[in-house]
Amino acid sequence: MLSTMVAVIFMAAAIIFTINENFPNQFKITINYAKNGEPKFTFDIALYYVIITMTTVGYGDIVPTSTLSRISVALFFIGVFVFITYSFLN
């Protein structure tokens, strides 16, 4: 069970990172704690974003800012929660 959750977290971070890298204008995620310009959205920031979002803490330091990114992230996390719930029941 734990290995499934870790795998889902890493896959979610990889997918969000890949989409953000390949479509930066359409899929925009903003990092609000930038001090000197806008920092690069890296895999470790994507992993942090996934963990914080899945635990429903949601500090607001990394947020989706385009309509496509908001819809995609919402649908993606609904799918993740359904997958994890299904894994617990079986």
The answer to whether the pTM exceeds 0.95 is: no
Would you give the end-to-end CA distance of the chain in angstroms?
10
Q: What is the CATH number of the domain that holds 83?
A: 1.10.287.70
Q: Show Cβ contacts of residue 23 under 8 Å, excluding neighbours closer than 6 positions.
A: 68
Residue 57: per-residue pLDDT: 75
Q: State pLDDT tens for residues 19-68.
A: 888 887 888 887 777 666 667 788 888 888 888 888 777 777 788 888 88
Report how many domains make up the chain.
1
User: Which tokens go with 37?
Assistant: 């310009």
Which has the higher per-residue pLDDT, 84 or 38?
A: 84
Residue 72 is part of which domain span?
A: 2-89
